Amino acid sequence: MRYQTSILLIISLLVFTCKKTDSTKTKVNINGKTETLNGHVKEIYSYSSKYDFTRLTIDQEGRTLTSSVNTLSIAILENRTDTTITKENTTYTYNDKNGKVKSMIGETITNGSKESSKLNFDTLGRPIDDKGDTIITHNVNRYKYDKHGNLIEFIYAEWETKLEPTATRYKYDKQNRVIEETEYEPVDLLLSKKTYEYTVVDSKKNWIKAIVRYKAYPPLHFDPRTDTITRKISYY
């Protein structure tokens, strides 16, 4: 089995923004994790290094126009360490009736190798079970939400392989900000845990700095570490 440990916060392709409900709130979802920001948000740029960052641009209706994600990860193997740089660019389509996201079409470039994907959403703008064609195999993703619409479990499985499904589970604070993220492989074996502490907010009370703490559990091995995530938010 090949285990990957992200040097810094990895933000996946699952990024979308729902239409804002009023002139002072903008609701965004990153990895399906809902966050309601104060103000009429135009752009969110978050980073933990020059290699790990994500950028969202949002129109005046509160809909994401584009998302760009860059991640750096390390695979620790028996006799070597592999470094991988992944770039993800995504375009969005929306439901004409309610303005919520309808689908995402993405292109992922990993060390020069390109891969395409498509993710569909329900009428509430939430990702649904999907089957995405990739270069190597067919993937199946499943999502589970709490009563607030927050993603609490994401299960990923690969067709045509003997690999066990993996699960990522989330916990949130009263502001619906993720405070804990745990990964399992298979779905009942804990591999890693991330905890989030939000330390700085901007003039609109949106967080712009967070401390992320990582911990691994056997058979996954890496030293506990702490990263700082910084966000720059611009408004209309």
C-alpha 145/C-alpha 23 separation (Å) is 26
Helix (H, G, I), strand (E, B) or coil at 202: coil
Please give the single-letter amino acid code of residue 179.
Answer: I
User: Which residues have C-beta within 8 Å of that of residue 174, sequence separation ≥ 6?
Assistant: none
C-alpha angle 13-216-176 in degrees, rounded to nearest 5: 50
- In eight-state DSSP terms, residue 50 is S
| Strongest mean pLDDT among 31-40, 77-86, 165-174, 217-226 | 165-174
Please give the tally of structural domains in the chain.
Answer: 1
Query: pLDDT by residue (tens digit) across 147-192?
Result: 988 889 988 876 555 567 889 999 999 988 899 999 998 888 999 9
Q: Check which CATH number belongs to the domain holding 220 and give it.
A: 2.40.128.720
- pLDDT of 171 reads 95
Ranges of beta strands (E only) in the chain are 4-6, 15-17, 25-30, 33-38, 41-47, 53-58, 64-76, 81-94, 101-110, 113-120, 130-133, 138-145, 151-158, 166-172, 178-184, 190-201, 207-216, 225-235
Domain span at 98: 4-235
pLDDT of 200 higher than 70: yes
> Does the predicted model carry a pTM greater than 0.75?
no
